[in-house]
Amino acid sequence: MAIFWHVGSSPTVRTEIQGQRSCPWISVLDDVSKNSPPELRRRRRRQCLRATLQVPPSAHENSKAMETEKLKLRQFSQQDFEQTFNIVKVCFSYPYPPSYLEKFYEQYPEGFTVAECQGKIIAYIPGQIKNDAGHLGSLAVLPDFQKKGIGKTFVNFLIKRFEEKGFKKVTAHVRIKNQKGIAFYEKMGFNIVKTIKKLNPDGEDGYVIEKEI
């Protein structure tokens, strides 16, 4: 298939698909003239291109959804320790010590959740009970699997678990310099409630954030 764009006095599209030389959606361009707003012309071109390539407008979103559906969320087990700690070392500039994971597992094993994809652990989040609220530990997703909705899936999964147990609030900690993390949790409905000095192993301050459920 070959696709050609002609930009002249009026925008047109010519395609060659199995011997055919006309775009099946060429009619959408018939009412577009050179005096039409640029955004209208661009929108019409995109419509024709999508029809020609048979790519639905939501293809990108559908791809992300399919990748998320392949995930298996399950409870952390001791056999997962090595893979999970490797994620810590990859994702954090100042990795937490192994005792950090051990503490979460000992305190609230049913809340320590990992994401598995094709037999490989690619993300984790420890959940625990803290001050009569559900608490989210450090969320970490391997770089190759980030920006695919996994973090959101994780957080929603644990929030639902806490809600089922009767908790009315979920809290978490985030570094004050972690703008991406702050933005992520704000989109999830969390609010900053206070600052704790030297909250992190390297001495950086951190925010306490919470969400009513």
pLDDT tens per residue, range 38-80: 666 666 666 654 544 444 444 444 444 445 457 899 999 989 9
Ranking 16-25, 84-93, 166-175, 203-212 by mean pLDDT, the lowest is 16-25
Q: What is the value of pTM for the model shown?
A: 0.63
CA dist 111 and 89 (Å) reads 21
Q: Residue 129 domain-assigned?
A: yes
Q: How many domains does the chain have?
A: 2
17: which DSSP letter?
A: B
Same domain, 122 and 151: yes
State residue 158's pLDDT score. Answer: 93
Q: Residue 62 domain-assigned?
A: no
Bridge-based pairing of strands 112-117 and 72-75 is antiparallel
CA dist 211 and 195 (Å) reads 16
Same domain, 76 and 166: yes
Residue linked to tokens 């990795």: 95
**Taking 60 as the threshold, does the pLDDT of residue 152 lie above it?**
yes
Q: What is the DSSP string of 34-81?
A: TTS-HHHHHHHHHHHHHHHHT--TTHHHHHHHHHHHT-EEEE--GGGH
Q: Residue 184 domain-assigned?
A: yes
Q: What is the CATH number of the domain that holds 161?
A: 3.40.630.30
CA dist 103 and 113 (Å) reads 14
The whole-number average pLDDT for the span 114-131 is 91
Same domain, 137 and 184: yes
